[in-house]
């Protein structure tokens, strides 16, 4: 009987330790998940900051070439607004589109340096 009592105490102790380990493991997993989320948000914010800066620089180049597109300015405004509202996916997408539009505007500006002459009546 004494042996059965000791065995029962040992079994209960093991079960309690197992549950405590499981609770610690769950807490560690939740902490890791939260840390991963924070790191992802910081990376996304840094990524957006560099994207929006690049888009603004390219837009300034298109203005300097007198070939800025109004739709490009709209994308920049939408990117900033989405970022301020916390919609980083939309903000990044708009910033990337603004970059592409600015690059296309610069290509067109370069081409128009000579192509306009072909459209003048002779």
Is 10's pLDDT higher than 80?
A: no
State the Cα torsion 33-38-40-41 to the nearest 10°.
Answer: 140
pLDDT number for residue 119: 84
Q: What is the share, in percent, of the chain residues with pLDDT greater than 90?
A: 48
Q: Worst-scoring range by mean pLDDT, 41-50, 59-68, 96-105, 107-116?
A: 41-50
Burial 99-116 (b: 16+ CB within 10 A, else e): bebbeebbeebeeeeeee
Distance from C-alpha of 7 to C-alpha of 9, rounded to nearest angstrom = 5
pLDDT average, residue stretch 12-40: 54
Check whether 30 has a pLDDT greater than 70: no
Looking at the whole model, is its pTM more than 0.75?
Answer: no
Structure tokens at 31: 């902490």
Summarised one tens digit per residue, pLDDT across range 57-95 is 999 999 999 999 999 999 999 999 999 999 999 999 999
């Amino acid at each position: 009987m004494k042996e059965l009592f000791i065995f029962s105490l040992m079994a209960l102790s093991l079960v309690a330790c197992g549950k405590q380990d499981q609770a610690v493991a769950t807490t560690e997993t939740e902490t890791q998940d939260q840390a991963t989320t924070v790191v992802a948000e910081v990376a996304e914010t840094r990524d957006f900051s560099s994207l929006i800066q690049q888009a603004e620089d390219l837009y300034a180049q298109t203005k300097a070439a007198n070939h800025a597109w109004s739709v490009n300015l709209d994308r920049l405004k939408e990117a900033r607004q989405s970022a301020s509202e916390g919609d980083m996916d939309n903000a990044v997408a708009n910033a990337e589109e603004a970059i592409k539009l600015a690059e296309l505007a610069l290509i067109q500006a370069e081409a128009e340096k000579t192509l306009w002459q072909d459209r003048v009546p002779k």
